């Protein structure tokens, strides 16, 4: 009798072989909670649904033990393979779940975008008579706010040159026109040769941090604020709308008072020293137009400073008066401007 045994478990059936023989010593379909054990030199088996039975009588107890070990090794290998298949299956399922979540997030972003981040495909159009449902405009000049204006059909978009210099010139002209209208801005200073436009939200931490710098710049530049609600949303509207409803000459003081309080609060008619309605519709509409202009220009965030020639002013240009003067006085055609202090 050979001294080696082999065991094969396939299709739910276990077969044991002696040596290289192709004839099995026995065949058995193990039941649930099956158990193989020795009784002397006899290999026994039972399970939850099968009673104890003799499977094979070896020549010696040692050879019976060798056969039992071969069975145990085969069953252990089967368990490893089953565990491996289970892990692969779980990994595939997890990958499918993550892919489904990712696709859901992408679909939600594509088909239900944030309203404040929808950029209009049409070029800038005049907002001489802005209406809530008309296309986004960044040219914010206006007629008197109380005048009732009949609805106009959407103007035909004009061709806009694609060059960056042309885009900057158009943006600069739009911002100046909006400033001259007096409806959408807070002028911290005037009468200077050059102008700096600032998109700011009083609930934005960076805006609160840079406000003292802006007040210092009023010595040399016209500093014009376009309030937006990027951070504070409705709270910003409630705080800023009364400022825009106040007389233009009083807006700077009211705006600066928002930054001197421990927290930004909506201004009451008493605080503004100007009778204003509880709901300042004109101010709310002005802030909404500023928000739409902010989105149209695809500005990255607040605070955002823009020179009167349409260029974005980097924060590195604010490190010193000389650095800012160099930036403001460098022609647009000049590339690679060094705005660092000498």
Looking at residue 267, what is its pLDDT?
52
Split at pLDDT 50, 70, 90, the class of 144 is very low
Segments of the chain assigned to CATH 2.30.29: 5-97
- Bridge partners of 18, per DSSP, are 5
| Exposure class string for 59-88: b at 16+ Cβ within 10 A, else e | eeeebbeebbebbeebbeeeeeeeeeeeee
How far apart, in whole angstroms, are the C-alpha atoms of residue 35 and residue 224? 87
pLDDT tens, residue by residue, 30-56: 889 899 999 999 999 999 898 999 999
Looking at residue 139, what is its pLDDT?
52
How far apart, in whole angstroms, are the C-alpha atoms of residue 162 and residue 165? 9
Is 159's pLDDT higher than 60?
no
Exposed, middle or buried, 44 (CB in 10 Å: 0-12/13-18/19+)? middle
Helix-, strand-, coil-residue percentages of the chain, each rounded to 5: 40, 15, 45
Contacts with 325 (C-beta within 8 Å, 6 or more apart), sequence order: 220
Is 200's pLDDT higher than 60?
yes
Segments of the chain assigned to CATH 3.40.30.10: 164-311
- Bridge partners of 222, per DSSP, are 195
Looking at residue 257, what is its pLDDT?
92
Q: What is the mean pLDDT of residues 125-141?
A: 44
How far apart, in whole angstroms, are the C-alpha atoms of residue 157 and residue 224? 28
Helix (H, G, I), strand (E, B) or coil at 251: helix
What string of DSSP letters covers 203-227? Answer: T-HHHHHHHHHHHHHTTTSEEEEEE
Terminal Cα-to-Cα distance of the chain (whole angstroms): 98
Which token pair is 155?
Answer: 């103007």
Q: What is the pTM of this model?
A: 0.50
Looking at residue 121, what is its pLDDT?
42
- Which CATH code is given to the segment(s) 164-311? 3.40.30.10
User: 3, 18 in Cβ contact below 8 A?
Assistant: no
Residue of 272, 256, 188, 194 lying closest to 223 (CA atoms): 188
Q: What percent of the chain has pLDDT over 70?
A: 75
Q: What is the DSSP letter of 33?
A: T
CATH 2.30.29 fits 5-97, yes or no: yes
């Amino acid at each position: 009798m050979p001294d080696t045994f082999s065991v094969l478990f396939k299709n739910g059936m276990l077969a044991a072989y002696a040596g290289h023989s192709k004839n099995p010593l026995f065949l058995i379909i193990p039941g649930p909670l099956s158990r193989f054990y020795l009784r002397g030199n006899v290999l026994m088996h039972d399970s939850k649904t099968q009673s104890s039975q003799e499977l094979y009588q070896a020549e010696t107890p040692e050879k019976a033990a060798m056969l039992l070990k071969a069975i145990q090794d085969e069953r252990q290998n089967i368990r490893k393979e089953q565990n491996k298949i289970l892990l692969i299956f779980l990994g595939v399922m997890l990958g499918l779940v993550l892919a489904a979540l990712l696709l859901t997030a992408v679909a939600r972003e594509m088909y239900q975008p944030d309203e404040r981040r929808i950029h209009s495909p049409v070029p800038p159009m005049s907002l001489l008579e802005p209406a809530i449902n008309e296309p986004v405009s960044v040219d914010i000049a206006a007629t008197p706010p109380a005048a009732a204006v009949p609805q106009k059909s959407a103007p035909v978009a004009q061709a806009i040159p694609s060059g960056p210099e042309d885009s900057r010139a158009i943006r600069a002209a739009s911002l100046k026109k909006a400033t001259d209208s007096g409806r959408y801005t807070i002028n911290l200073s005037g009468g200077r040769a050059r102008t700096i436009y600032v998109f700011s939200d009083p609930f934005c931490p960076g805006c609160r941090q840079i406000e003292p710098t802006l007040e210092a710049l009023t010595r040399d530049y016209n500093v014009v604020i376009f309030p937006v609600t990027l951070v504070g949303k409705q709270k910003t509207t409630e705080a800023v709308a009364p400022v825009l409803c106040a007389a233009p000459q009083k807006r700077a003081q009211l705006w600066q008072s928002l930054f001197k309080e421990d927290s930004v609060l909506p201004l009451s008619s008493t605080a503004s020293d100007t009778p204003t309605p509880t709901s300042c519709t004109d101010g709310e509409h002005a802030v909404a137009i500023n928000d739409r202009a902010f989105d149209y220009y695809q500005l990255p965030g607040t605070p955002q400073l823009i020179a009167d020639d349409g260029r974005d002013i980097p924060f590195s240009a604010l490190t010193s008066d000389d650095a800012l003067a160099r930036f403001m006085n460098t022609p647009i055609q000049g590339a690679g401007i060094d705005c660092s202090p000498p």
